[in-house]
Amino acid sequence: MSGVPVMPVSLFAGVLCAGTAAWVLAGGDRVSRRARVVLAGGGAVVPRGPVRRERLVIAVRVRAARWREWGCLGVGLAVGLLGRSLIPLVVGAAAVPLVRRWLRVRGREQERAARAAQVIALCGAAVGELRAGAQPGQALTAAIRRTVAGPGGPGAAEAAVLAAAAFGGDVPEALRTASAEPGAEGLAGMAACWRISVDGGAGLAAGLDRLEGALRAERDRQESLRAQLAGARSTTVVLALLPLVGLLIGTGLGADPLRVLLHSPVGWACLVAGGVLEALGLLWCRRIVRAGER
């Protein structure tokens, strides 16, 4: 087929890399993880035993993702060298604080999810200790030491609850104070169960068992909602990467889109207009997804 331009292998490699990046940024690993949870029968996302190891893994993942923060600068430098312009380098440098903020928000969300899983594990561990014959204070102390303590030891809120349970302090008040942390809202229900069992003589194990079931159902509902919205997030990322795919296709066809965009007034105007429209589109899609989550 003479006369038909043949796309080089580098073009296909670029498109493949762009698709892989879209899948990773959209959270494909989270989707597969949720699928494994559903197929496993809706069990706990974080097992009761290795909760500490899960927190450590999350911390390592957050730190390992820091390379993306400065990766923008590296990408801008590479594109600037290819296009012989300082504009990509400036854009990459400006993207560093935005990526840093995104990483921090993502890290807080992961910590919140891990803390919520710890509360569920804490209720289950406390129920097991109570049914084994332990006193409420002893059961809570053992449960905290087994589940809540993180890689560097318990935090301030966990230490306060542990001290109250071990030395006869005001456990409900300590639990309510600890419930102020993001993801630990279930501790407020645990405090209510503790107060009722002390004042009214009701069964603490039964109350904590029902609380664990309610928290687990709420967690499963949120995971199901996030899984349903994963498709919308993936579509948003793919659409955001389409301009990059267009540049790769133009380069593969023999055109020089970087020269036009980086070295001509018309190209500068297209860059500004495209960047503004891209940002507005991402913000609008994010608003739609957040509205669905609420």
The answer to whether residue 56 sits within a structural domain is yes
The answer to whether residue 3 sits within a structural domain is no
The answer to whether residue 2 sits within a structural domain is no
Closest among 89, 86, 94 to 74, alpha carbons compared: 89
What is the spatial distance between Cα 264 and Cα 192, in angstroms, rounded to a whole number?
67
What is the spatial distance between Cα 156 and Cα 208, in angstroms, rounded to a whole number?
23
What is the spatial distance between Cα 17 and Cα 58, in angstroms, rounded to a whole number?
25
pLDDT at 169: 79
The answer to whether residue 179 sits within a structural domain is yes
pLDDT at 61: 59
Average pLDDT of the chain to the nearest whole number: 75
Residues constituting the chain: 294
pLDDT at 9: 43
The answer to whether residue 26 sits within a structural domain is yes
The answer to whether residue 4 sits within a structural domain is no
pLDDT at 86: 85
Considering its fold, how many domains does the chain have in total? 1
Q: Give every residue of the chain whose pLDDT is below 50, as ranges.
A: 1-15, 21-52, 151-153
208 contacts: CB under 8 Å, gap ≥ 6 = 123, 126, 127, 130, 190, 193
Written as six digits, the tokens of 176 are: 């309510």
pLDDT at 24: 45
What is the spatial distance between Cα 156 and Cα 153, in angstroms, rounded to a whole number?
10
92 contacts: CB under 8 Å, gap ≥ 6 = 72, 73, 74, 75, 76, 77, 79, 80
Q: What is the pTM of this model?
A: 0.66
98-108: burial string, b at 16+ Cβ within 10 Å, e else:
ebeeebeeebe
266 contacts: CB under 8 Å, gap ≥ 6 = 260
Q: Are the C-beta atoms of 208 and 126 separated by less than 8 Å? A: yes
Instruction: List the alpha helices (DSSP H) in the chain.
Output: 9-25, 28-39, 51-64, 67-83, 87-131, 136-143, 156-166, 171-178, 186-200, 204-252, 257-262, 265-293
pLDDT at 63: 58
- Domain hosting 136: range is 9-293
